[in-house]
Structure 1
Amino acid sequence: MENGRKRGGASMHLLSDEALLDAYVKATHLGLEQEFIALLMEEINKRDLHVPPH
């Protein structure tokens, strides 16, 4: 934890479900950092969303 914050920061909740899923799909397609993708997936799971097939 950095500065006493949990991974993912407080701003993930500001993303709409659609924006979160879109960010996940784009991040995986672009091969972004696995830690970032894991943070997105953690929030997707927390919201009980399902990743669209791609």
Structure 2
Amino acid sequence: MTKKIENHPIEDVFGDEICEGDTYFVFGNETVLQSNLKQYLIEKQQVQCYEAI
């Protein structure tokens, strides 16, 4: 479920601007744009990423 928020953060943990219409996630005090989610999970949360072949 996605909530629309008027007073959203200005940027995510990677310094990318959050604009109207962008989807972002909040992990504790860290905000992550949807486009940066994979990078965040790998770099900041040490989540293993796999590609099926």
TM-score by length of 1: 0.31
Structure with larger Rg: 2
Structure with greater proportional strand content: 2
TM-score by length of 2: 0.31
Whose RCO is larger (CA < 8 A, sep 6+)? 1
Structure with greater proportional helix content: 1
